[in-house]
A and B are shown apart, each in its own frame.
Chain A
Amino acid sequence: MKTRILLYIAVSSTLLLGTTSCSDFLDEKNKTGETADITYTTKSGIEGLISSCYAFQRGWYGKEPALGLAEGGTDLFYYGFDNKQKSMNSYNISSVSLDDNVNDNPCLDQYWEMGYAGIDVCNNAMKYVAQSAQIDDAAKAKYKGEAEFLRALTYFNMVNMWGAIPYNDSPITAQNTNPIRMPENEVYGKILADLDNAITDLAAVTTKASGHATVWSAHALKARVLLYAASWINGQLNKKVAGNDKYSSMDAKALYAAAATEADAVITGSGATLYANYSDLWSMNNEDWTNNKEALFGVSYSSDLQSTVNCIPPRYGNNAEYNSLITRTGYTRGGSSMLLMFVPMWNNGCNDLGGSGTKNTYVFFRATDDGNTITSKKTGQNVAVAAAYSPYGRGFTRYLPSLHLWRILAKHQSTDQRYQGTMLDAYRIANHDLSQNAQNYTKMGAWADKNITDASKLQAFRDTAIYYSTLDGNSQEGKALQAWAKNRYRIQFAIGGDIPVYTSTDESKALPTTGGKTVSDVYGDARYNDPKIEGYRSFPCISKFLDNVYNKTYPTYDISNRDFFVLRLAEMYLIKAEGQLGAGSATDALATINALRKTRAISGQNNSLSSISSIDDILEERGVELCGEFQRWFDLKRTGKLVEYVKKYNAQGSANIDSHHLYRPIPDAETNSVTNLTTEENSTTGFWQNKGY
Chain B
Amino acid sequence: MYLKLRKVSLTLLLSMLCMASFAQKTIQGTVKDNTGEPLIGVSIVSGNTGGTVTDLNGDFTLTNVNDGAILKFSYVGYKKQSVKVGNQTKFNIVMQSDDKTLDELVVVGYGVMKKRDLTGSISSIKSSDLEKVASANAMQAMQAKIPGLDITQSDGQAGGGLNMTLRGTRSILAQNGPLILVDGVQYGSTIDISPDNIESIEVLKDASSTAIYGSRGANGVIIITTKRGKAGKTKVNLNVYNSFNSPTNIPTSMYGDAEMNRLIDKVNYIADKTSGKWGTSNATAQQVTAGYKLEDGTETYSIYEDKSYTNWGDLILKNSASQNYDLSVSGGSEKTNFNVSLGAMYDNGLMDQDKLSRYNGKVNIDHKINNMFKIGGSLMFSYKDNDKANSGVFSQAMKMTTITHAYLSDGSINAAPNPWYTAHSNPLLDMVDGRFQHNIETTRFFGNAYIEFTPFKGLMFRSLFNADRSDARDGVYQDYESTTRYQTPHTNYISSNKDNTTALTWDNTINYNTNFNGSKSSLTALVGHELLQSVYESTYIFGSAGTTHYYESSFYDLSKIASPTIRNGYTKKSMLSFFSRVNYSYDSKYLATLSLRADGASQLAEGHKWGYFPSAAVGWRITEEKFMAGTKSWLDNLKLRLSWGLSGNSAIAPYQTLSTLNTSSIYYNFAGNDVAGKIPSHMGNPDLKWEKTSSFDVGFDFGFLNNRINGSVDMYFSKTNDLLFYKSAPTSSVFPSVISNIGKTKGSGIELQLNTLVIDSKNFSWNINWSYSHMSDKITELTDDINKYETGINHSARIVGERVNTYIDYETYGTWGVGEFANYIANHKFYDSNGNEVAASYPSGYGDPGTLKIADSNNDGKLSSDDRKVYNADPENLFGMNNTFTYKNFSLSVQLMARLGGYIPYAMNNRLDYETANWGGGCTDYWTYTNQNAKFPSPGADKSIYTTYGSSLLYEKADFLKIKDITLSYSLPKTWISKIGLSNARIYGSLKNFFTFSHIDNFDPEAGGDFSFPLAKQAVIGINLEF
Contacts and interface: CB of A to CB of B under 8 A. Distances in A.
A30 B658 contact: yes
A355 B293 contact: yes
B544 interface: yes
Contact of B679 (A20, A303, A313): A313
Interface in A43-77: 45, 47-52, 54-55, 58
B678 A675 contact: no
A526 B290 contact: yes
Interface in A343-374: 348, 351, 355-357, 359, 361, 368-369
A32 B663 contact: yes
A177 B788 contact: no
- Counting contact residues on chain A (CB < 8 A from B), the size range is 35 or more
Contact of A168 (B422, B563, B602, B734): B734
B660 A33 contact: yes
B270 to A, nearest CB: 8
A509 to B, nearest CB: 15
Given A34-B678, A48-B678, A348-B422, A92 B944 contact: yes
A177 B678 contact: no
B732 A100 contact: no
B291 A28 contact: no
Interface stretch (B66-74, B130-138, B483-491): B483-491
Interface string B738-754: 10000000000000000
A109 B731 CA distance: 9
B659 interface: yes
A530 B290 contact: yes
B670 A300 contact: yes
A529 interface: yes
A45 B678 contact: yes
A26 B291 contact: no
Chain B contact-residue range equals 35 or more
Contact of A81 (B565, B601, B915): B915
Contacts of A316: 680-682, 734-736
A319 interface: yes
Contact of B733 (A179, A304, A332): A179
Contacts of A121: 679-680
A309 B732 contact: no
Contacts of B673: 211
Contacts of A16: 508, 510, 529
B564 A307 contact: yes
Interface centre among A35, A81, A318 (most CB of B within 10 A): A318
Interface stretch (A4-12, A131-139, A236-244, A586-594): A4-12
A33 B734 contact: no
A670 B730 contact: yes
A97 interface: yes
Contacts of A29: 572
B1016 to A, nearest CB: 29
A482 interface: no
B668 A300 contact: yes
Nearest to B463: A15
Contacts of B677: 45, 47-52, 55
Given A27-B602, A317-B735, A87 B660 contact: no
B297 interface: yes
Contacts of B790: 97, 668-669, 672
B508 A15 contact: yes
A117 interface: yes
Interface stretch (B157-165, B205-213, B232-240, B721-729): B721-729
Interface string A536-575: 0000000000000000001110110000000000000000
Nearest to B680: A36
Interface in A448-500: none
A96 B947 contact: no
A12 B459 CA distance: 12
A371 B726 CA distance: 52
Interface string A674-690: 11000000000001000
B531 interface: yes
B295 interface: yes
Contacts, number: 329
Given A51-B667, A86-B947, A673 B660 contact: no
B45 interface: no
A637 to B, nearest CB: 21
B455 A5 contact: yes
A172 B531 CA distance: 38
Nearest to B667: A309
A97 B732 contact: no
A121 B609 CA distance: 32
Interface in B509-542: 510, 529, 531, 533, 542
Interface string A75-117: 0000001000011001010111111110110000100110011
A103 B947 contact: yes
A308 B670 CA distance: 15
Contact of A33 (B531, B663, B726): B663
Contacts of B453: 8, 12
B297 A99 contact: no
A656 B915 CA distance: 24
Nearest to B783: A177
A302 B603 contact: no
Given A33-B663, A318-B737, A96 B655 contact: no
A209 interface: yes
Interface string A212-230: 1000000000000000000
Contact of A211 (B600, B662, B669, B864): B669
A39 B735 contact: no
A318 B670 contact: no
A15 B669 CA distance: 59
B731 A55 contact: no
Contacts of B562: 306-307
A307 B670 contact: no
A483 to B, nearest CB: 25
A333 B674 CA distance: 13
B531 A19 contact: yes
Contacts of A20: 529, 576, 578
Nearest to A30: B655
A52 B679 contact: yes
B980 interface: no
Contacts of B785: 675
Interface in B593-622: 600-603, 609
A610 interface: no
Interface in B625-675: 654-655, 657-675
B792 A100 contact: yes
A311 B667 contact: yes
Nearest to B726: A318
B563 A175 contact: no
A273 interface: no
B657 to A, nearest CB: 7
A402 to B, nearest CB: 19
B694 to A, nearest CB: 25
Contacts of B293: 351, 355
Given A319-B793, A656-B844, A175 B733 contact: yes
Nearest to A93: B843
B547 interface: yes
Contact of B291 (A209, A332, A531): A531
Contacts of B603: 28
B569 to A, nearest CB: 6
A518 interface: yes
A212 B667 CA distance: 14
Closest 4 CB pairs of A and B: A48-B677, A530-B291, A307-B563, A175-B729
10 contacts: A12-B508, A26-B575, A35-B660, A48-B666, A49-B677, A81-B915, A86-B947, A316-B734, A351-B291, A356-B422
Given A8-B453, A514-B270, 19 more contacts: A4-B455, A12-B453, A30-B654, A39-B678, A48-B665, A51-B668, A90-B944, A95-B865, A104-B948, A304-B563, A306-B563, A313-B666, A314-B681, A359-B295, A394-B488, A515-B270, A530-B292, A656-B844, A675-B786
